[in-house]
Amino acid sequence: MPLQIVRNDITKMRVDAIVNAANRSLLGGGGVDGAIHCAAGPELLEECRGLGGCETGQAKATKGYRLPAKFVIHTVGPIWRGGDHGEPELLAACYRNSLNLARKLRCESVAFPMISTGVYGYPKELALPIATQAITEFLMENEMQVYLVVFGAGALAVSMKLFHDVKQYIDQNYVDAHNDRRREYQREALWHSDEEKALEYDQMLGESIFHDLFDSAPLADAAPAPDSALRPQPLMQTSIQPDWEDLLRQTDEGFSQMLLRKIDEKGMTDAQCYKKANVDRKLFSKIRTNPAYRPGKPTVFAFAVALELSLDETKEMLEKAGFALSRSSKMDIVLEYFIKNGLYNLLEINEVLFQFDLPLLGSVA
C-alpha cells in the first residue's frame, strides 16, 4: 500500500527517512522535533547547526544517527494564521519538497508526522487533505512507500458528519455473528411467557430482517444520495435477449480477468488503476500475470473503488476472488456505505476505516 496511515511514534518507524516538523532555526524544539532530537542523540543537533536554518516550506536532510531511520528530513511548516496567508500552499510544499529530497536520497520509504498541526496550530481537518493530496500526486509519478504517522487518539480529524453517518450506517446494518443467537433466545423466552408480545416482536424482527435481506427501502436517514444518483441510469436491458456468449465468458472469468476487463471498459491504464487503488506495482503485476491469483479482500475493495464500480459489480468482483459482502464485517458495511453513495475517494475511505481501527484499502504488502 503506497500510502498508509499509521498510529505510531515516528521515532520508532523503521523507514529510510522520517520527516521532522522543525522550526526555521533547525536547532530543535518541542513536539515531534524534540522527540526526534532526543531519540537521534546530540550528533543530530551538531549536523543541524551546520545547515544554516531552513525556510518555511523547504526541506533539508541529515543523517538519522541513533534513530532506526537512515535520514531525517527537516521541513518547516507554516504557522496557522487563519488560512489566507499562503498556509495551504506552504504546507503542500513541505510534503512535496520532502518527498523530492527523499527521492534524491534514493529512499524507498518515508514517514511523515502531521506537519504544522501541533504547536503551529494548523487545523487537522484542513491539513489532512493537503497532506494526502500532495503525497498522492507524488505517488502517481514515483514508487515509494509513504507513511502518514498520527500520534495519539483522535489525531486524525475525519469530518464529524461523515464519521457520524458511517457510524449510523454500521449500527443499522452490522449483525455480528452471535447477535442472531441473542435474538433467538429473546424470541424463545417471549413465546413461553407472553404470546402477544412475542407476536409483536416477531413482526418487528421480520420487518428488519426483510430490510436486511431485500434492502429495498432506502434507509430513511442514510446520507442524501449524491447528484450522480439523480443522473438518468442506463436503461435495464430486460427486454433485450442477454448475450449468452458474454454471460458465459463472464461466469468463467476469474478475478484478474474481470479486473482487466473493467480497466479497459473504464478507459484507464493499468498504472492509473493500481495507483488510484493504492496498490503497489509488484502486486498488480502478480495479479495481471496469474489468472488464478486470489487477492485479499481490502485489495478487491480498493480496485472496486478505483474503478468506481456499482455495488452489484463490487459483489461480483468479490465473488470472483472468493469473497462475499458480509453483514458481520464492519469493513464491508463501511465500503457498502461509500459505494452505495457513489463516494469513491479512497483516501477518505481509508481515513474513516482508520478511525474505526479497521484494515485500510490497498494491497496488504
Residues carrying an active site annotation: 33
Q: How far is the CB of 124 from ligand APR (least distance, A)?
A: 7
Q: How far is the CB of 32 from ligand APR (least distance, A)?
A: 4
- 158 interacts with ligand APR by CB under 6 A: no
Q: How far is the CB of 57 from ligand APR (least distance, A)?
A: 12
- 4 interacts with ligand APR by CB under 6 A: no
CA atoms within 13 A on the CB side of 359: 17
Question: For ligand APR, which stretch binds (CB under 6 A), given 31-39, 83-91, 189-197, 266-274?
Answer: 31-39
- 57 interacts with ligand APR by CB under 6 A: no
Question: For ligand APR, which stretch binds (CB under 6 A), given 146-154, 174-182, 209-217, 304-312?
Answer: 146-154
Q: Residues 4, 11, 341, 363: which binds ligand APR (CB under 6 A)?
A: 11
Return the number of the residue (56 or 256) whose C-beta is nearest ligand APR. Answer: 56
- 149 interacts with ligand APR by CB under 6 A: yes
Return the number of the residue (36 or 352) whose C-beta is nearest ligand APR. Answer: 36
- 22 interacts with ligand APR by CB under 6 A: yes
CA atoms within 13 A on the CB side of 328: 5
- 33 interacts with ligand APR by CB under 6 A: yes
Question: Could you tell me the CA-to-CA distances from 337 to 102, 162, 204, 331, 344 in Å, in that order?
Answer: 37, 11, 24, 10, 11
How many chain residues are in contact with ligand APR, going by CB under 6 A? Answer: 26
Return the number of the residue (116 or 314) whose C-beta is nearest ligand APR. Answer: 116
Q: Residues 117, 145, 329, 355: which binds ligand APR (CB under 6 A)?
A: 117
- 80 interacts with ligand APR by CB under 6 A: no
- 255 interacts with ligand APR by CB under 6 A: no
- 97 interacts with ligand APR by CB under 6 A: no
Q: How far is the CB of 346 from ligand APR (least distance, A)?
A: 23
- 68 interacts with ligand APR by CB under 6 A: no
- 115 interacts with ligand APR by CB under 6 A: yes
Return the number of the residue (117 or 363) whose C-beta is nearest ligand APR. Answer: 117
Residues that bind ligand APR (CB under 6 A): 9-11, 21-23, 29-35, 77, 113-120, 149, 151-152, 155
